[in-house]
Amino acid sequence: MKGYPEWFVPVLVGTVLLMFATGLLLAPTTLALRASLAMPRLPGAGRIAMAALHAAAGFALMLLLGALWAVHIRSGWRRRKQRTSGLMLGGALLVLAASALGVYYISDESLSGAAAFIHLGVGVALAGPFGWHWLRGRRLRRRVRG
């Protein structure tokens, strides 16, 4: 991506993949605790480590998204490039950030559970818009380069 150091894209993609992987590892715990489903879960120490890694990667992703806003998002919006997939990604990421706060800080059990299910569902569903945005951007770049 223009305007970013060489390390930026690999760090961004790595952070997104880390979020997705740790989220998938934590999903059975969410389903077991919030929906009372009998699911195989990570052991206590592993679960705590994954939750901490997931949260830390979430903070890192928010920092990277701020950097994306400064150049990539604003430039793409002005040039009318990939607005639909960009809006889907941005909206989903806002829902994920808000629902993460809900999971941590809402004291009402039913509202906290709703936030957890929204977070899980949107997190899994985000793979589609992210893949679409990424692959379409690469295809458009190749076309421009000739």
- Cα-Cα-Cα-Cα torsion 78, 59, 30, 45, nearest 10 degrees, comes to 150
pLDDT tens string, the chain, 146 residues long: the values are 788 999 999 999 999 999 999 999 999 999 999 999 999 999 999 999 999 999 999 999 999 999 999 999 998 889 888 888 889 899 999 999 999 999 999 999 999 999 999 999 999 999 888 888 888 888 887 887 76
The structural domains of the chain, with segments of one domain joined by +, span 8-145
Show the tokens assigned to 133.
């945005």
Helix 44-68 / helix 83-105 crossing angle, nearest 10 deg: 140
| Predicted TM-score of the model (pTM) | 0.87
Residue 68 in contact with residue 90, Cβ under 8 Å?
no
